[in-house]
Amino acid sequence: MVQKREPQKLVANNKKAYHDYFIDEAYEAGVALHGTEVKSLRMGKCSIKESFIRIENGEMFVYGMHVSPYEKGNIFNKDPLRVKKLLMHKHEISRLAGKIAEKGYTLVPLQVYFKEGKVKVEVGLARGKKLYDKRQDIAKKDMRRETEREFKIKNI
């Protein structure tokens, strides 16, 4: 019997991270949630634009991840901006802690999605971009858009 794999349902994407950082590696981590937060995430009520990740005492935490309160929940709703624990293996966390100790590296959340019914966060090991790097990226995007536009006009 062949099992059907359910496609990943994207809840939130952090486009700002790709603009501000070079993403060297990406890891998958689970999230420890309480009460009605999962229901709120299923409705797509999440934002990770201003969020960041820290490693404290061998555990990973995401700060600034906004999960809106569930509308039909009452006393079980938690603070939308509370600190959430990320679930990863100890050896992965220690490897990331060693890389963060290097100059210029940080951890940023890239995506929040559902995988096989569980909430996952894609964690990116990132280096900060300088202003001229951002300008180069914007120029590349503009050039690509122009060529696509010209190609589209020629094929009509």
Tracing tokens 């589209």 back to the chain, one arrives at 152
| Cα separation values, 22 from 71, 95, 140, 141, Å | 37, 19, 15, 16
Show the tokens assigned to 111. 């995506």
Q: What tens digit of pLDDT does each residue of 6-50 get?
A: 567 888 888 888 878 888 888 999 998 887 888 888 888 888 888
Question: Among the CATH numbers 2.40.280.10, 1.10.10.10, 3.40.50.1000, 3.40.50.300, which is that of 9-129?
Answer: 2.40.280.10
What is the distance of C-alpha 52 from the center of its chain? 9
* Range in 73-77, 124-128, 145-149 with the lowest mean pLDDT: 73-77
Q: What is the model's pTM? A: 0.73
Reference 11, options 52, 39, 62, 47; nearest CA is: 47
Q: Where are the beta strands (DSSP E) in 5-96?
A: 9-13, 21-31, 46-47, 52-56, 59-63, 66-67, 84-87
Task: Give the pLDDT score at 36.
Answer: 80
- Compute the distance between CA of residue 78 and CA of residue 62 in angstroms, rounded to an integer: 15
